[in-house]
Amino acid sequence: MQEAYYVAKSIRKTKTVSTESTKKRVFHNSDDCPIRNVVAQIGDKWSVLILFALVEGADRFNSLKSRVVGISQRMLTQTLRDLEREGYVNRTVYPEVPVKVEYELTSMGRDIVKPLYQLVSWAETHHGEIKRSRKAYDERN
């Protein structure tokens, strides 16, 4: 396992005596921790679905709205703005009448989709196992 700056060696300055002093601490500092700062961002309710929709190519606002089933206009706007701000999505306005706005993945957007696919692929494979685990847990609790 690689050692990252948000995972620092435990500086045993606390008074608690432990038999295991080799374990690392895991920080969540919002500014400097990629986990909270990057993963948590795309871990919201709609980001991944929008990114996956855009993998198939540039698309317009209302087309996305109908393809990302269940999303509200408000959340589509807001999540697209967030994704644009992060650098995953480009927004292009075509000054026609009526106006046309296209969203497409940046190179970084196409890039982050790869590890996301790994994760989603894992999730698909283990989805049944997870559902069984939940069911078993709920039955014994």
Residues 18-57 within binding reach of DNA (CB under 7 A):
44-46
Could you list the beta-strand ranges (E) of 72-121.
89-94, 100-105
Q: Which of 11, 17, 20, 96 binds its own copies (CB under 8 A)?
A: 20
Name residues contacting its own copies, limited to 33-62 (CB under 8 A): 34-40, 42-46, 48-50, 52-53, 55-57, 59, 62
User: How far is residue 41's CA from residue 79's CA, in Å, rounded to a whole number?
Assistant: 10
Residues contacting DNA: total by CB under 7 A: 23
Degrees to nearest 5, angle at CA 60 with 54 and 66 = 80
119 makes contact with its own copies (CB under 8 A): yes
- Smallest CA-to-CA distance from 19 within 31, 27, 30, 10 is with 10
Distance of CA 7 to the CA centre of its chain: 20
Interface residue with its own copies among 11, 94, 98, 138 (CB under 8 A) is 138
Report the 10 Å Cβ neighbour count for 65.
Answer: 16
Residue 77 binding DNA, by CB under 7 A: yes
Per-residue string for binding with its own copies, 63-92, x by CB under 8 A?
Answer: x--xxxxxx------------xxxx-----
Which residue from 51, 68, 71, 113 is in contact with DNA, where contact means CB under 7 A?
71
